[in-house]
Structure 1
Amino acid sequence: MPSQSTTPVPASTPRPWWKEPIMWLVVGGPAAAVIAGVTTVIIAASNPDPVLDRTEAGTANMVPAHQARNHAASPTVAPAGKSAGQDSQ
C-alpha cells in the first residue's frame, strides 16, 4: 500500500473585527444605551422644569383648590330630621 502524503490545508485569513456580525450585537447595545443617556442629559439640561413657588404668596392662589378638595372629601351631613339622600322641597 502506497503511503499517502497529507498536505496541510492553508488556513483562511481571518475576517477583520468590524466585519463580524456578533461584534456589532455586543457593542451595539451598550453604545445605544450611552447615546440615549447622553441625549437624555442634553434634553434635561436644555429644558429645565420651572421651580415651584412654595412661599406663602405662592400658596395663596391655591386656596380655592384646597377648599374644593376639602369640600369634595367631606361627608354630606343632613340637617336634623332629614336623611342625606332626600331632596328639600
Structure 2
Amino acid sequence: MNTILTRPGAELPDSGPWWRHPMMWLALGGPAIVVVASIVTLTLAVTHPDPVIEHRGSDGTMRRAAEDAGDDNATAAHEPAMRARNHAATGGQPH
C-alpha cells in the first residue's frame, strides 16, 4: 500500500547531507568514541605492562613484601595471588 502524505506533484523539502543532522551524530558518535577509547586502552596496556614484584632480602634471596615486614601468615596467604599476578604480568615466561 503506497500512501503519499503530500499533494501530488509537490516536492519534498531537501533535508540536506547526513552529517548535518544531530541525531545521526548521536547514533554514530557514541560507538565511535567507545572504539577509540578501547584502542587507547589497549595501547596503554601493551606499552606499559605491570612489573613483576620481587624484593631481594639482605641475604640476596628473593622475598615478598610481607616477608620483609616479618608477617609469615600474610606471606602464605598472599602467595597464590602474587604468583597469579606475576604470571599474568610476564605472560607465563620464566624470569
Unaligned runs of 5+ in 2: 1-6, 56-60, 75-95
The count of residues paired between Structure 1 and Structure 2 equals 63
Letter in 1 for 2:71: Q
> How large is the Cα RMSD of the aligned pairs?
3.0
Distance in 2, matches of 1:60 and 1:35, equals 38
1:51 Cα deviation (Å)?
A: 1.7
- After the TM superposition, list the runs of 4 or more consecutive aligned residues in structure 1 that deviate by more than 6 angstroms: none
The two structures have a TM-score, normalised by structure 2, of 0.51
CA distances 1:44-87 after superposition (whole Å, capped 9, x unpaired): 11111112349xx32266423143877xxxxxxxxxxxxxxxxx
1:18 Cα deviation (Å)?
A: 1.1
Structure with the higher strand share, 1 or 2:
2
Distance in 2, matches of 1:21 and 1:59, equals 59
Q: Which of the two has higher C-alpha Rg? A: 1
Structure number with greater CO (CA < 8 Å, separation at least 6) is 2
The two structures have a TM-score, normalised by structure 1, of 0.54
1:64 to 58, 65, 68: 68
Q: Does residue 1:49 correspond to 2:50, yes or no?
A: yes
Sequence identity, in percent? 32
SS in 1 for 2:52: coil
